[in-house]
């Protein structure tokens, strides 16, 4: 099946047009700066052909119309007719407790997504806009929602409940949900494939390290714990987000600095993490360069970043009663040998032996042959998971 995968952010639309039979992206691209000056679509075809188109791209509907036009274009496109798009798969960030798996989009589903907006005020509204725009532009083409939270929806209550009054969970659904689910699912399954073992018999720890970072404990195919929580703010240190914090710290700062709720949220989500500690950058490449130049605060940022990951490796091995594989993915996980090396340092006691050369050479298996725990560097492919899920749901609903 040929599936258009859309990932709609507040001012961007990422897309891939995927042939699910061949597991191949025929085309991919990004519409950036939607609603701003200098909006641009960057498109790339499977054969390397590339094009950039600038225009007045005022909203998500126009952005998706541009995507359709370039997919249909004689010189740069890959289809002759709109009908060649057999289904559309949408990345949706928050499925709340309503969605534990991917769904065919209907009016009721859109209503349920709207009901979940409060849980993800930054992410779900553009996701919904994208679904509505694609439905208008491609009427009759089935649309499927694939949720970042779904893979974590089988966590046990001991992992998802917070230690706050239970009525607040009942009243406001305040609990841990977890995110990056499609990525954790993809790389954990891929690790099992690479090990030539059954997914259902392995204990795998996955670390998705990008601008947002999270880890998951995948126990025999089920995510039993993950570091992000009610929102994508909990857990690891990230580019601009604080991760784990004593909640009293927030109240204390709000009092001292006279911050409003919104200002406190901005401080924690935008001005913390790598950028907050280093004062230099939220980008790991720049942090690494600053560390080489002996920048003390960048060194703190790097150390805290790696230390938190290491602590969760220990925690998740304990939670699962063992670990067979550790997987690094995401922009940092895939590209920074320094981070992988630091996380795995002195972990031989639990059977993790990194092979320095394999790690620096960016191989897929980066542990030594004698390592009891296999360590992998696996490029994530969330779009492929979304396309495969979409094809499966559409085929089974026909």
Label residue 370 exposed, middle or buried (CB < 10 Å: 0-12, 13-18, 19+): exposed
- Per CB under 6 A, the list member of 244, 283, 341, 342 interacting with ligand ADP is 283
Where is the binding site, in residues? 7, 14, 91, 208-212, 283-285, 331-335, 382
Residue 210 lies near ligand ADP (rule: CB under 6 A): yes
Cβ of residue 260: shortest distance to ligand ADP, in angstroms?
27
Q: How far apart are CA 231 and CA 214, in angstroms?
A: 11
Where is the binding site for substrate, in residues? 91
Q: How far apart are CA 59 and CA 258, in angstroms?
A: 36
Q: How far apart are CA 300 and CA 180, in angstroms?
A: 26
Cβ of residue 298: shortest distance to ligand ADP, in angstroms?
13
Starting at the edge strand that comes first in sequence, how are the strands of the sheet with 24-32 ordered? 50-54, 40-45, 24-32, 13-19, 2-8, 87-92, 143-147, 103-104
Q: Are strands 40-45 and 50-54 parallel, antiparallel or unpaired?
A: antiparallel
Cβ of residue 237: shortest distance to ligand ADP, in angstroms?
11
- Per CB under 6 A, the list member of 335, 359, 367, 390 interacting with ligand ADP is 335
Cβ of residue 332: shortest distance to ligand ADP, in angstroms?
4
- Per CB under 6 A, the list member of 284, 320, 354, 366 interacting with ligand ADP is 284
* Count of residues of this chain found to bind ligand ADP when the rule CB under 6 A is applied: 13
List binders of ligand ADP among 362-391 (CB under 6 A). none
Q: Give Cα separations from 280 to 239, 275, 302, 306, 336 (angstroms).
A: 11, 6, 12, 18, 18
Q: How far apart are CA 122 and CA 273, in angstroms?
A: 19
Which of 87, 233 has the CB closer to ligand ADP? 233
- Per CB under 6 A, the list member of 332, 373, 378, 385 interacting with ligand ADP is 332
Catalytic residues: 148
Which of 33, 173 has the CB closer to ligand ADP? 33
CB 40 within 8 A of CB 32: yes
Instruction: Give the residues lining the site for ligand ADP (CB under 6 A).
Output: 210-212, 239, 283-285, 288, 330-332, 335-336
């Amino acid at each position: 099946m040929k599936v258009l995968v859309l990932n709609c952010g507040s001012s961007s639309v990422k897309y891939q047009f995927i042939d699910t039979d061949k597991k191949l992206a025929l085309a991919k691209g990004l519409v950036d700066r939607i609603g701003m000056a200098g909006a641009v679509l960057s498109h790339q075809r499977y054969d390397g052909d590339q094009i950039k188109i600038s225009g007045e791209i005022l909203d998500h509907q126009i952005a998706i119309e541009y995507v359709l036009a370039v997919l249909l274009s004689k010189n740069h496109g890959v289809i002759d007719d709109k009908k060649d798009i057999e289904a559309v798969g949408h990345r949706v960030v928050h499925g709340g407790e309503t969605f534990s798996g991917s769904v065919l989009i209907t009016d009721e589903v859109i209503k349920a997504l709207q009901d979940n907006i409060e849980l993800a005020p930054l992410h779900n509204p553009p996701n919904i806009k994208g679904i509505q725009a694609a439905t208008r532009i491609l009427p009759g083409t089935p649309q499927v929602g694939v949720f970042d939270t779904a893979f974590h929806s089988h966590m046990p209550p001991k992992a998802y409940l917070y230690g706050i009054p239970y009525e607040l969970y009942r009243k406001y659904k305040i609990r841990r949900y977890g995110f990056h689910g499609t990525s954790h699912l993809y790389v954990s399954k891929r690790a099992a494939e690479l090990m030539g073992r059954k997914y259902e018999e392995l204990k795998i720890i996955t670390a998705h390290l990008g601008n947002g970072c999270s880890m998951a404990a995948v126990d025999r195919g089920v995510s039993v714990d993950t570091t992000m929580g009610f929102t994508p703010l909990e857990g690891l240190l990230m580019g601009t987000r604080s991760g784990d914090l004593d909640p009293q710290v927030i109240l204390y700062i709000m009092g001292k600095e006279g911050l409003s709720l919104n200002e406190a949220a901005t401080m924690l989500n935008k001005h913390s993490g790598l950028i907050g500690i280093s004062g230099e950058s939220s980008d790991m490449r720049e942090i690494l360069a600053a560390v080489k130049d002996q920048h003390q605060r960048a060194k703190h940022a790097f150390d805290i970043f790696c230390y938190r990951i290491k602590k969760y490796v220990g925690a998740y091995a304990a939670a699962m009663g063992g670990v067979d594989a550790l997987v690094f993915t995401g922009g940092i996980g895939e590209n920074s040998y320094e981070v992988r090396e630091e996380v795995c340092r002195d972990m031989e006691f639990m059977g993790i032996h990194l092979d320095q050369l394999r790690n620096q050479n960016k191989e897929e298996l980066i542990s030594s042959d004698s390592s009891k725990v296999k360590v992998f560097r696996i490029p994530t492919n969330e779009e492929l998971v979304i396309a495969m899920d979409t094809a499966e749901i559409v085929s089974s609903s026909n």
